[in-house]
A and B are shown apart, each in its own frame.
Chain A
Amino acid sequence: MSKGRAKENRPGLLRASLNPWLVRVEDHPERLAFVLHRVTGVIIIAYLLLHIIVTNTPARAGWEAWDQLMEQFGTNIVNQVGEFIVAGSVLFHGMNGIRLLLAEFFGVCIGRPEKPKPPYIPPTYRACQRQLLYLIFAVWPILWVFAGLLIFGVF
């Protein structure tokens, strides 16, 4: 077998990474969840790196600079919007992560093998992982709005 992308005419990395958007299947929240899980994961990693750099400030520039920075965070609108996005990402990634852990490690909520019969819907889509996903899509905006109220200092 040819390893990696060495083979002639194999789609390049750029084209391959478009696959999640190219395949247009209707009524498929799992795929949307997959895309959101990846995007939020990237946001969380970026935040983590920034967080490490920022918490290094006292060692780099002293405690005065740290205090100044912390004052800024409470008032600067750019920081607040960034925090809002990170809060939404963490909320979705965490909740969807619980669903994925249940399905992948414990094999629950994924249906049972059965003989295919009309209307030919695979057990995966009739299992409770889908209800869990709908629940996540319902709870996520509410929690996110609540987090926004806290971040923008309405309370």
Chain B
Amino acid sequence: MVGIDPKAATRTPPKTVVFRVKRYNPKSGREWWQEYKVETHRGMTVLDALLKIKEEKDHTVVMRYSCRMGVCGSCGMVINGVPRLACQTQIAEVADEGNPVVTVEPLYNFPVVRDLLTDFTDFFEKHRSVKPYLLRKDREEQEEPRGQYLVSPEEHALMYEFTLCISCGLCYAACPVAAIDPDYLGPQALGYLFRYVIDPRDEEWQMRLMIADSEHGCHKCHYAATCSMVCPKVVDPAQAIQRLRSLLFKYKLGLWRKKKTAPLSEKPKDWKPRKPLPPEAQLVSPDVDLERLESEPVTVEVDGKRVELRYTIYD
């Protein structure tokens, strides 16, 4: 919706555009606006301009970026008051001859590390807390699969939209509820949670509904619906959260339960047990117990204090 303007790249932006960048120095704690004049060309994105500033004018500007084509979701920032991906935003879209000024700020609702770089630790912890992976009752079968889970195209179409999320954090930055309540799970995590509740292959839907039913879960949403407006992948988390709530409402009244889960296909004729990965291909050493890691909270040391990195429904 916002930032999806296919014709913007064909327009020519103003020759010189003033970039007002919000700077922050963590050492001195100083915050200030800095202006840079950038010579533009047709098809130039805001990320291109920021990199030009970094190369030619001021190499101390800090930002995060990676793919430059709207896939990785690293370069989220607030451009002219709207959270956008800098790599997908054409300058011609946000600046014109009448007002050739582009303001760039770090994402709202996130702790700022430096300049335009924000800290996503809590955001990803919330994402982790909704258990964003398939869970079956038969854990052994899941570890040692004997076939595929059968999903019809109609069932897939219902959840496909919500699988497109790239975790860029724009919805979280635009959410007025996440601004007030820092523990609110946020549109991204709840959208993901809904995607697994309606996924026919998933069987732990009751546990997922319990996570959504917590104090900082889906009931905090007030349907301002800006999350869907700023989403660069048209995921529509606002709809996901309202659907999740109505499902929860019906479930609590005993009117809804997940009727069907995807059956296992027949065992292929050439089925063989899964080979263990060679040691050089394993991400963690064989000594690490993954099941214990999953159930135990992660603790890290921050300034000599031990901080628990966990978000559960029980505390």
A interface list, Cβ under 8 A from B: 1-5, 7-11, 13, 16-17, 19-20, 22-25, 28, 30-31, 33-34, 37-38, 100, 103-107, 110-111, 113-116, 118-125, 127
Q: Are A115 and B122 in contact (CB under 8 A)?
A: no
Q: Which residues of B contact A114 (CB under 8 A)?
A: 157, 161
Of A1, A17, A37, the contact of B311 (CB 8 Å cutoff): A1
Judge whether B159 is part of the interface by a CB distance below 8 angstroms: yes
With a cutoff of 8 Å between Cβ atoms, the chain A residues found around residue B142 in the complex are none
Top 6 A-B residue pairs of the complex, sorted by shortest distance between their CB atoms:
A107-B246, A24-B81, A19-B179, A34-B224, A122-B236, A116-B234
Evaluate contact between A1 and B122: CB separation under 8 angstroms.
yes
Contact A23 B174 (CB under 8 A): yes
Q: Which one, B174, B243, B307, contacts A107 given CB within 8 A?
A: B243
B contact residues around A34 at 8 Å (CB): 176, 222-225
Q: Does B239 contact A (CB under 8 A)?
A: yes
**Which residue of chain B has its CB nearest to the CB of A130?**
B225
A30 and B224 contacting across the interface, CB-CB below 8 Å:
yes
- CB-CB under 8 A from A106, the residues of chain B are 246, 249
Q: Which of B83, B121, B173, B239 contacts A110 (CB 8 A)?
A: B239
Q: List 11 A-B contacts (CB under 8 A).
A: A3-B183, A7-B182, A9-B26, A28-B225, A28-B226, A30-B224, A34-B222, A104-B223, A120-B234, A122-B231, A125-B229
Question: Which DSSP category, helix, strand, loop or mixed, fits chain A's interface?
Answer: loop
A86 to chain B, nearest CB (A): 22
Bound form: Cα–Cα A11–B228 in Å: 23
1/0 per position for B92-128, CB-CB distance to A under 8 A? Answer: 0000000000000000110111000001011001100
Would you call B183 and A4 a contact (CB within 8 A)?
yes
Most chain A CB within 10 A, of B83, B158, B160, B228, is at: B228
* Chain B residue at smallest Cβ distance from A106: B246
In the bound complex, CA of A36 to CA of B159 (Å): 33
Given A16-B180, A105-B246, A114-B161, also A124-B236 (CB < 8 A): yes
Over the window 220-251 of chain B, the binary record of Cβ atoms lying under 8 Å from chain A Cβ atoms (1 yes, 0 no) is 01111110111101111011001101110100
Taking a contact as CB atoms under 8 Å apart, the answer to whether B236 and A16 are in contact is no
Q: How many Å from the CB of A34 to the closest CB on chain B?
A: 4
A78 to chain B, nearest CB (A): 32
Residue ID in chain B nearest A109 by CB atoms: B242
Query: A34-B224, A122-B234 are contacts. A10–B111 as well, Cβ < 8 Å?
Result: yes
Among B1, B158, B179, B182, contact of A125 (Cβ-Cβ < 8 Å): B1
A105-B245, A110-B242, A124-B239 known; A16-B307 Cβ under 8 A: no
Q: Which residue of A lies closest to B160 (CB)?
A: A115
Given contacts A22-B81, A30-B225, A113-B239, contact A2 B122 (CB under 8 A): yes
Query: Contact at A123–B174, with CB atoms within 8 Å?
Result: no
CB distance from B224 to the nearest CB of A (A): 4
- Report how far A57 CA is from B308 CA in the complex, Å: 53
Are A23's CB and B223's CB within 8 A?
no
